[in-house]
Structure 1
Amino acid sequence: MTQTLRIGTRASLLARTQSGQIADLIAERLGVEVELVDVTTEGDISRAPLHTLGGTGVFVSALRDALLDGRVDVAVHSLKDLPTGAAEGIALAAVPPREDPRDVLVARDGLTLGELPVGSVVATGSPRRASQLHALGLGLEIVGLRGNIDTRLGKVTSGAADGVVLARAGLSRINRLDVVTETIDPIQMLPAPGQGALAIECRAEDTTLEAQLREHLDDPFTRAAVEAERAVLRTLEAGCSAPVGALAEIVEEADGPEVWLRAVALAPDGSVDIRRSASGPLAEAAEVGNRLAAGMLEEGAAELIDSPARRQQS
């Protein structure tokens, strides 16, 4: 492999930063020249709330198109943005070690969620975060939010909001953890499936490149954890913007590593939630997620989520 490897990325600061980190790893470990190629996605163009843009993949489809038509050789995504179904002609070559998957609060005056006065305005663009904030019963006013990280943080510094909730991983990757006023315990707010992880894709026909990426960049523990979490979404037929949270951890047991998985599905206003946990061997990560989600469906999770896929079937 002597040609320059073209790595597709969204053009935002966060996307280019995390893609640049992956590019550096590829250059070092595969011994190739690399080049970042900016790709504009539907999610970058539209200013509408993400959950109104027609489902999953709004940050992904254009990058995959660029792969398939040969403009790029590798695509780097935030894994939580990936649709759960397989994409024809695309291989998920590697899932590198994950950043901290938790959500964080950035609030005025260094306040935590529990310290914000009743009626405080907290902004988030995520139905999952909004529903879990409502479920805490803190009397907060939850409002929508779009834009890059600086735009979101600006809501607090300008006084337009008392706080915003973001993914810790994104702030970590751009060295902005100093603005965090609270890292939110998953007991209070389970993260999005796949949050904090990156996905490295290539064309399925590029089997040599796929094998090299997997050998040199894939972390099997992170891959198993996100497989379990994404299996919950897939079985629930919920999109990446649905009010569903899931977090899997890998725990060493006497018989080998196991996946410990927690998940929640909520009504949009947080008034009802269904929470379950499950565990199983590392090699059965997806089955752990399937089994957990099946139990949630038996308890009525489909009615809480009201996903587009389920509305079309009804």
Structure 2
Amino acid sequence: MSTTIRIGTRGSALALAQTGQIADRIRASSGAEVEIISITTEGDTSRASLSSLGGTGVFASALREALLAGECDLVVHSLKDLPTAPAEGLVIGAIPKRADARDALIARDGLTLEALAEGATVGTGSPRRIAQLRSLRPDLDIRDIRGNIDTRIGFVTHGELDAVVLAAAGLGRLGRLDVVSEFFELSHNPTAPGQGALALETRQKIPGDLARVLQGLDHQTTRLTVLAEREVLARLEAGCAAPVGATALIDSDLLLLTATVYSVDGSQKLTASHGAVLDGSPADRNAEAIELGRRAADELLSSGAAELAPLS
């Protein structure tokens, strides 16, 4: 394959790192030349909180515009930041194997969440994480923060905050897992639908050579789990900044999904757990995963999720 593949990405250190890893895999599998194109998004330039920006799409829109304009051949998204509604003319060509989906605590002196002093200051920009922290430790002083991973870690190392909560996947991709003082288990702290996974988005008409490259990058187990998780958001008509957590896993040929909606103050939550047997073709399995997400979301809605939390 001799054609140069142009990959669009945000310009943050994390986005460039994860895109670089995809570029290396493409070079190794196809021998193609790869060019990385850095694109600035609204989420990168605004200092407003994600909840005030609306969350959904603030990191994706500029990448998608560049893709549709033919400025690149594919773009790499953090899947948790990608709106659940399909974009006209675009498709998710591949979802590579997922990294660690858990959240991680970075605290002064290596303290755990339980060991933090009463009234300790903890930073996060995620309404879901805020609700979960308030549920576990209502005494904490939660601060809304923005910035890249190094900036957020710096809030702790420079003494401005006692702790911050970040995605383990991002820390791992940047080689910064050494700063983690505690990992939050998914059984108690479900994370954002799709957290830890990447989405490789392309124009709908994919050239044959590129289609074969993407097929080699796609990881079916990851695709099934994130399809189920993201369908919860889609059915709830919730944005990626809504206080919603979802965790799906595959055990043998069973797909298991647990989804939780939190009140903003963390005092209440609703949880739905469902399972489905996976059989048939890949398309049949994908449809099963989506239906599983719908069932979980429908149970949450019937239990009052829309009244419990701001979902849009």
**What TM-score, normalized to structure 1?**
0.94
Aligned residue among 294, 297, 300 for 2:298: 294
Closer, same or farther in 2 for the Cα pair 1:182/1:287, shift >3 Å? Answer: same
Alpha-carbon offset, residue 117 of structure 1: 1.3
Equivalent residue number for residue 70 of structure 1: 70
Q: Find out whether 1:38 has 2:42 as its counterpart.
A: no
* Matching residue's letter, 1:303: E
Alpha-carbon offset, residue 159 of structure 1: 1.1
Q: Distance in 2 between matches of 1:305 and 1:212?
A: 42
**What TM-score, normalized to structure 2?**
0.95
Q: Distance in 2 between matches of 1:186 and 1:201?
A: 27
Worse-superposed segment, 209-218 or 232-241: 209-218
Equivalent residue number for residue 166 of structure 1: 166
After the TM superposition, which parts of structure 1 deviate over 3 Å for at least 4 consecutive aligned residues? none
Q: Look up the SS of the partner of 1:130 in the other structure.
A: helix
Q: Is the 8 A contact 1:132 1:188 kept in 2?
A: no
Alpha-carbon offset, residue 306 of structure 1: 2.2
Q: Find out whether 1:272 has 2:276 as its counterpart.
A: no
Q: Distance in 2 between matches of 1:167 and 1:219?
A: 21
The unaligned stretches of length 5 or more in structure 1 are: 309-314
Counting aligned pairs with the same residue, the percent is 54
Alpha-carbon offset, residue 138 of structure 1: 4.9
Q: Look up the SS of the partner of 1:98 in the other structure.
A: coil
Q: Distance in 1 between matches of 2:230 and 2:210?
A: 21
Equivalent residue number for residue 15 of structure 1: 15
The unaligned stretches of length 5 or more in structure 2 are: 279-284
Q: Is the 8 A contact 2:54 2:241 kept in 1?
A: no
Q: Is the 8 A contact 2:54 2:239 kept in 1?
A: no
1:107-165 Cα shifts (integer Å, max 9, x gaps): 00110001111101111000000001111135211110100001100110111110000
Alpha-carbon offset, residue 77 of structure 1: 0.6
* Matching residue's letter, 2:264: P
Worse-superposed segment, 52-61 or 292-301: 52-61
* Matching residue's letter, 2:101: P
Question: What is the 5 A alignment of 1:1-314?
Answer: 1-209=1-209, 211-252=211-252, 257-282=253-278, 283=285, 284-308=288-312
Q: Distance in 2 between matches of 1:173 and 1:133?
A: 25
Alpha-carbon offset, residue 209 of structure 1: 4.8
Q: Look up the SS of the partner of 2:276 in the other structure.
A: strand
Q: Is the 8 A contact 1:93 1:210 kept in 2?
A: no
Alpha-carbon offset, residue 259 of structure 1: 1.1
Alpha-carbon offset, residue 210 of structure 1: 5.4
Q: Distance in 1 between matches of 2:96 and 2:58?
A: 22
Q: Is the 8 A contact 1:262 1:276 kept in 2?
A: yes
Equivalent residue number for residue 282 of structure 2: none
1:74-118 Cα shifts (integer Å, max 9, x gaps): 100100011001111111000000001000000001100011111
Q: Look up the SS of the partner of 1:113 in the other structure.
A: coil
Alpha-carbon offset, residue 7 of structure 1: 0.4
Q: Distance in 2 between matches of 1:137 and 1:276?
A: 23
Q: Distance in 1 between matches of 2:189 and 2:247?
A: 10
Instruction: Provide the aligned length of Structure 1 versus Structure 2.
Output: 304
Q: Look up the SS of the partner of 2:230 in the other structure.
A: helix
Worse-superposed segment, 182-191 or 56-65: 182-191
Cα-Cα RMSD:
1.1
Q: Distance in 2 between matches of 1:81 and 1:57?
A: 7
